[in-house]
Amino acid sequence: MLDQNYYNPSTAIHPGVTLQEILDSLVMSQIELANRTDLTPKTINEIIQGKNPITPETAIKLANVFGISPNFWNNLQRNYEVQVIRLQEEQTLINESLHLKRFICYKELEKWNFFPKSSNTKDRVRNLLNFFGVSSLSLVSSVQQVAFRSTKQKNLSKESLAAWLRCGELRATQIETATFDEHKLTNSLEGLRELTNEKAESFADKIVEKCASCGVAVVFVPYFKNTYVCGATRWLNSEKAMVQLSLKGGRSDIFWFTFFHELGHLLKHGKKDQFIEFEKNKSTDFENKELEADKFASDILIPPEKYKPFKMARLFDDLTIKNFAKKMNVHVGIVAGRLAHDYNSPKAYKKFEHLREKIKFVEK
């Protein structure tokens, strides 16, 4: 009879079934048992019907009547409750599996080791539930509301975007930062700007270190398919901010513009604001806060009082661009990218493409 507790049956057997079997074997009625235990006939009947549990007090009374240890009855009740929970979880996982097809990012999450690989459907559901920290995948939209707000991007996978943002949260919690210091971050801008001249394998760690000292966790999360995202900014709490970058575009000028754009949000906008930066289409109408962050990034990378006369001269051969970049102490790709952006034509982008360095981080 106890063997049923050591495997996973398809149903949970209430201890009342065992109680009835013992009564039958002893040819004892429920009323007689009630009299012997000082329990009401209704209580005995409801235990046998599976409507009431065997409490520790009832277990002692049954032990005295039948000469069976109270632990026997307590174990029956405990094992029954465990089986009920297990079966409920099994059904939950079956129901939740209907959501799986929407999470096209699953393989990407496996690739970047956010959870172990598995081909089992129930394991996959459990992995996603644990990853998002929710009891149902239907709750992801409410937990990651910013990812599910309307956007002009076509074919956007909101679940993938939510997963990308969650990756950033999890990585940011592993970065120790000082309390956010607006003044210190402002004073660090020039030093961060000078890093544009370094290779990605060198400046990545320096960005993280410098920003952490100002209360900002900078995280690099690989681009997820159908998210069209370049970066994001949010406050994890009142003392710690997060800047998340995807390296979408793969060009140094795009990376640095996005990075300083996100810092612009931190320095200019409220702690309740959350921002997601998508690939910018020519026809996109930006909100004022986005325009402010754009201007902040542009002016930090190339001071407007220096850039305006340079652009008006219209001498855009390689040597002139490189000399100007050197004078500004920024990577030449940033100047080339700015010119391509300002002239905004396929011809301009093609002309300056060879100066816009491609970057790729070594994922850790």
Across 256-274, average pLDDT: 94
pLDDT band at 316; cut points 50, 70, 90: confident
Domain-located, residue 318: no
Alpha carbon distance, N-terminus to C-terminus of the chain: 53
Domain-located, residue 234: yes
Domain-located, residue 327: no
Report the percentage of the chain scoring pLDDT > 90.
74
pLDDT at 102: 94
pLDDT at 155: 86
Q: Is the pLDDT of residue 95 over 70?
A: yes
> Among residues 112, 103, 76, which one has the least CA distance to residue 223?
112
- Select the highest-mean-pLDDT range: 63-67, 89-93, 112-116, 276-280: 63-67
Amino acid letter, residue 21? E
Of 97, 118, 136, the last residue of a domain is 97
Report the percentage of the chain scoring pLDDT > 70.
93
Residues 126, 162, single domain; the answer is no
Residues 137, 205, single domain; the answer is no
Could you tell me the CA-to-CA distances from 164 to 94, 246, 319 in Å, in that order? 25, 9, 40
Residues 170, 268, single domain; the answer is yes
pLDDT at 267: 96
Q: Which two tokens stand for residue 29?
A: 């009625």
Across 38-42, average pLDDT: 96
Q: How many domains does the chain have?
A: 3
pLDDT band at 259; cut points 50, 70, 90: very high
pLDDT at 247: 77
pLDDT at 29: 96
Domain-located, residue 363: no
Residues 63, 10, single domain; the answer is yes
Distance CA 258, CA 146 (A): 18
pLDDT band at 269; cut points 50, 70, 90: very high
Q: Which residue has the tokens 């340079």?
A: 310
What backbone phi and psi angles, to 5 degrees, belong to 223? -65, 135
| Weakest-pLDDT range from 56-65, 192-201, 231-240 | 192-201
Q: Is the pLDDT of residue 147 over 90?
A: no
pLDDT band at 178; cut points 50, 70, 90: very high
Domain that holds residue 133: 99-148
Across 108-128, average pLDDT: 93
Q: Give the 3-state DSSP-derived string for 298-358, with helices as H, strands as E and coil as C.
A: HHHHCCHHHHHHHHHHCCCCHHHHHHHHHHHCCCHHHHHHHHHHHHCCHHHHHHHHHHCCE
pLDDT at 130: 95
Helix runs in the chain, H state only:
15-26, 30-37, 41-48, 56-66, 70-96, 106-111, 121-132, 140-143, 145-148, 158-172, 182-194, 200-212, 252-268, 288-301, 304-313, 318-328, 332-343, 346-352
Distance CA 98, CA 102 (A): 9
Domain-located, residue 58: yes
- Select the highest-mean-pLDDT range: 169-173, 315-319, 337-341: 169-173
Q: Which two tokens stand for residue 80?
A: 């029954």
pLDDT band at 345; cut points 50, 70, 90: confident
pLDDT at 327: 94
Q: Are 23 and 30 in contact (CB under 8 A)?
A: yes
Distance CA 161, CA 63 (A): 58
> Among residues 219, 217, 224, which one has the least CA distance to residue 109?
224
Residue 70 belongs to a domain with what CATH number? Answer: 1.10.260.40
